[in-house]
Every structure is written in C-alpha cells, then in structure tokens.
Structure 1
Amino acid sequence: MDPVIQVRDLTKRYHDVAALDGVSFDIERDTIYGFLGRNGAGKTTAMSILTAQNFATSGSVRVFGEDPYENARVLRRICFVRESQKYPDEATARTAFASARLFFPNWDQAFADDLVDAFQLPTKTTIKKLSRGQLSAVGVIIGLASRSEITFFDEPYLGLDAVARQVFYDRLLADYAEHPRTVLLSSHLIDEIANLIERVIVIDRGRILMDQSAEDARAEATTLTGDARRVEDFTRGREVIHREQLGGVAAATVHARLTDAERRDARAAGLELAPVPLQQLIVRLTQAGSPAPDTTPEGSRR
C-alpha cells in the first residue's frame, strides 16, 4: 500500500452527536474511491476535516504524511469540490477558472476549455445567474482540470442531467488513465459510479461499515431465489440482510462469500443465485444497521 491519506481514530462531535465516531482508514495513491453512505452519515464531515475546512474533536489525520491544517504545501495538492461551493457575487465561470489556474499547480487550461464546450457552459454569465446544472458544471470542471494529486467530489454533479453526468464520468476515466491521481467520489448515485470506483468506503452513523476493493465488495453478498422452504433451509444460520416472499417463492440476500461447494448445493436445491449490485448491497447493509467491522488498517492496531 502507498497511502496518501492516513486517518486514525477520528472523532467529530457536535454537542451530543458523533458525526464521526473513532474511524480509521487509509486512502491509497492513484486510486478512485467511492466514499458512500446515507445523508448525515459523516461523509462530508470527514472530507471537510481531510481538507482542513473543519476540526476534529480527537484523532489524527495525515495527508502526504503531514497535518493538512494551515499547511499550504499540502492544500495546494488537494482539490475539494462540493455541491454547496460558494463564489463571489460577481464571479463568472471564467473568473472562477482564472482563480483556479493560479492556485492549482497542475491546472490544464486546454482541458478546462474542452470541458466548457462539452458541458455547454456560458463562461461570461455571473455564477449566481447560472442554473443548478451549470453551477455543478463549474465545480466539475475545476475538479477535473486542476489535476490535483487528491481530488474530492462531494456530490457536486447532482445538478447535472443524465447526459452531462455521463460526460463527467467519461472525461474523468479518460483523464485518470492518462494522469493518474487519487479521486474520492461521494455520491448517492451508486449504480452510476459503480464501474468507475476501484475501492469502496461506506460510512454509516459515523462509523466505517465497509472498506475494501469494489471487486471484493461485489462478492460480499448473493441473492438466492426459489421455493420458500428451500430458501429458508439454505439461509438458516447465515446473515440475511434482505428477504421477500410472494406466495411459495422467496428471495433472500445473504451477506456472505459463498464457496463453490455452497453454490453447487444451492443450485442442486433448485435455487437461483444472482450477484447483488453494489448500490443494493450498500442500501441493504445500512438498512440492516449492521455493526461496523474492524477495518483499522494493518500497522495501526495495537
């Protein structure tokens, strides 16, 4: 592993509420992460602390091996794009990009100009007069064209229509292939980004619920469908995170990595097996309120 971010026992409390409750994780270099969870789970709080826009109650954060707070060396290597990004009242997209060019050392103006055309963005209109989708495009363009070593996208593309979101995904992947960097995507549109992300971190109620590769996450659960009694027999003693039944036919989603032998036994019992899409898995796990596993990175355990 080659972590660019190391988080240890991070806690953030707002009075009696723990927005983050002792979370620990690493973010690896040149990897696209899905940073996922329900509203209020702690995602934005964590990203705000990692980018020195908020304070931790306790715990430690290291970005490029340093504390990011009031650290220009670190902050110039990070881009944080969020849905609620604020701009001066008279700023236009053109002035926003000019300011970004001065701040981000890897800024690519030609790439920014190409993205302006792709998103059909008016650059002379004041930002406060732009539509929500156009405002989202401003943030997305800054996040992509900055080519920062670490880029956080905190739902900035929610205002984009389906076509514009696909433009974002396509351009992100193409540019990432040529200019690898670390990208964290926070999104509720999990199905849309499922094929983009290489690792998944899920936060639920301020704790880490999942921290693993996207490939491993997809293998974490299986849905079995068939005769209700046979489904019940096969799933007995296993962690079932969702169950439904219509007449004599039932479907159950088990949170377990089934062995080849178990799959053969299920098929022999007349059950159909289907993989669980990443979005459905995360929805089921957060609905079930599964306890957070021990995902403390190796080397930090005592």
Structure 2
Amino acid sequence: MSIEIRELTVRYGGTVAVDGVDLDLAGGKIYGLLGRNGSGKTSLLSAIASYRKPSSGIVRIDGEEAFENPRVARRTCFIRDTLDLSDSDRLRTALDLAARLRPTWDGSYAAHLIEVFGLNPRKRVSSLSRGQRSAFGVVLGLAARTPLTILDESYLGMDAVARTLFYRELLDDYLRHPRTIILSTHLIEEVADLFERVIIMDRGRVIVHDETDALRGRGVTVTGPAEAVTSFVAGHAVLGEQSLGGVRAVTLDGHFTAGDIERGEAAGLSFGPIGIQDLFVHLTSQPLEASR
C-alpha cells in the first residue's frame, strides 16, 4: 500500500506535533521512522493509521483518503507500545478477535510466533511483563500480515535476544509476504539493516527521507592537523567538531568524491564514515533550518 501525505498538520491545543508534512511512501518497502522524543513520530503514524484525524491536510492510502475509511482500516495494522488491549483479556481472546477482524490474519504464523517468544495464550494481559507485552504486540502486528503494518516502538520492552528473534521473523516474513512496513525506533544501529528507506523527523517536520544506503554514504568525519582540516572543510556543512591540541576532527554533511578524499589524504587528513545513528544525532542536534 502506497502512502501520500500532503500538508499534514496535527495539533494538540496550542502544540503543533506534525507541522505541514509532505511525504510519499511507495508500497512494498520497510521504512524506518526516526526522531527524538516529542519529534512527532507517533502523531504522524496515528494520522497514517487513522487513529487521529488530521488538524489539516490529508493522508491517502492507495489513492483513498484514509480517515474513517473501513476499506483502508481493514488493511492497516497499527501496533503501539501501549498494547491496545484490556488487562482482563486473555491472549487467546485477543488472537481470536484479530482473526475475525483481519482478513489477512495467519493463525498458524501467530501460533509459531507465540512459541518463538515463549508466550502462554491462556494468560491475561495483566499478567504479562513489559517484555512479554512487547512480544505479544509483535505477534499481533506480524501475523496480521496487513498490506500496511505500522510498529511504533512496539518492541522496546524486549530484551536483546527477543529483539533479535523479532528482526529475524520480520525480515523472513516480509520476504515471503511483501508489504509496506513502517518501524518507529530509537534503536537505530541495531535495526538499521532492516530499513530500505529512512525518514527522520525533528520538531514536527520531516528533515530527511532517503534510501538507507545513500544515508550511509552521506557525510564524513575529517581528522588531522587543525590548519589542514580548516582548509578542507571550508564551504561544507559542518555538523560537529572536536579539537585536542593541534588536532581537529570535523563531521561534515554531504557527499565527497574519491578525488576530494585523495586531496585530503595528501594534506595529511584521515576520513571516517558516519553511521546512520551518528548522522541522526548530528542532524537532530542542529537548529531546525540548519538541518533541513
């Protein structure tokens, strides 16, 4: 399912959570949505999933307006970290309800995931640990196999082993059953290899939307004698810098040719790549206009 967002704004009283966002997401990809706390990620996802009516603007899913559209709702699954279930519900009751509501539901796969994560379907939601709640949210999200699946920090309660199992299951099932998946996360380096495209939000706006591989090749850290570094970085967008004695290290945003690197190395400089997490930290630490 493709997503088209135009001039989307979400307000809570006087607070603007999403500020005039335009975004086009092609179907059949895994997207990573990154942003600091309060950046507007959950508000954006809530509008995409029709959990919240936009204050202004529009969200279209496969060309149809999403809000209060039952055809779109049946094909969309939105799993939040709060796990939208009653504490008195047993897990098997929630699984039965999901099977009735989701035409794409795969009960056999749900049973497989229940076993993978060591969950007891006879238990009530109230008896689950935080990690078990997260795991059950993942079960509901993956087994639904909806054309649009949104996971909003839904797996952060898991320990490292459970998260690794989740990443493996998500990728394996996505390859067997392609669909549009959006993952919102703070665990950037841990999960970045899953993303085909990355969206970065900051203060209600989208400041980056690009292929993951392109972001990995974006920017360098230049280290060397202060004078040579200063000469090399002139005219480039500086994301951050450190100095120690006569040595200076500067992180630059942008793409550099092999010729650029060769000239820098001839001047005694060394170059290192910026990981997606480092790029995210640098971009979201800047004044908003500087990061766009």
Output the TM-score relative to the length of structure 1. Answer: 0.93
User: Aligned residue for 2:289?
Assistant: 291
**So what's the TM-score if we normalise by structure 2?**
0.97
Query: Which residue does the alignment assign to 2:226?
Result: 228
Shift of 1:292: 7.4
Structure 1 segments, 4+ long, off by >4 Å, are none
1:263 pairs with 2:235: no
User: Relative to 1, partners in 2 of residues 1:61 and 1:292: Cα closer, same or farther, differing over 3 Å?
Assistant: farther
Show the counterpart of 1:129. 127
Give per-residue Cα distances to partners, 1:19-74, cap 9 Å, x unaligned: 11111001111100001111110110011111111111111110121112221111
Q: Please say if residues 17 and 39 of structure 2, whose CA atoms lie closer than 8 Å, have aligned partners that are also in contact.
A: yes
Letter in 2 for 1:221: G
In the other structure, the counterpart of 1:63 is: 61
Calculate percent identity across the aligned residue pairs: 43
Alignment partner of 1:113 out of 98, 111, 114: 111
Do the aligned residues in 1 keep the contact of 2:202 with 2:288 (CA within 8 Å)? no
- CA shift, 1:253, in A, is 0.7
Conservation of the 8 A alpha-carbon contact between 1:209 and 1:291: no
Range with greater deviation from structure 2 (283-292 or 215-224): 283-292
Where do residues 208-223 of structure 1 align in structure 2 (5 Å cutoff)?
208-223=206-221
Q: Which runs of 5+ in 2 are unaligned?
A: none
Task: Say which SS state the counterpart of residue 289 (structure 2) adopts.
Answer: coil
Root mean square deviation of aligned Cα: 1.4
Report the Cα distance in structure 2 between the residues aligned to 1:281 and 1:113, rounded to whole angstroms: 39
Aligned to 2:184: 186
- Quote how far apart the aligned CAs of 1:18 are: 1.3
Structure 1 residues 65 and 293, CA, compared in 2 at 3 Å: closer, same or farther?
A: farther
Q: Give CA deviations for 1:211-259 in whole Å, capped at 9, x if unaligned.
A: 1111111122111112222112211221110111222222111001012
State the match for 2:280 in structure 1. 282
- Give 1:62's aligned amino acid: R
- Residues 148-227 of structure 1: pairs in structure 2 closer than 5 A: 148-227=146-225
* Aligned mates of 1:55, 1:276 — CA distance in 2: 38
SS at match of 1:56: coil
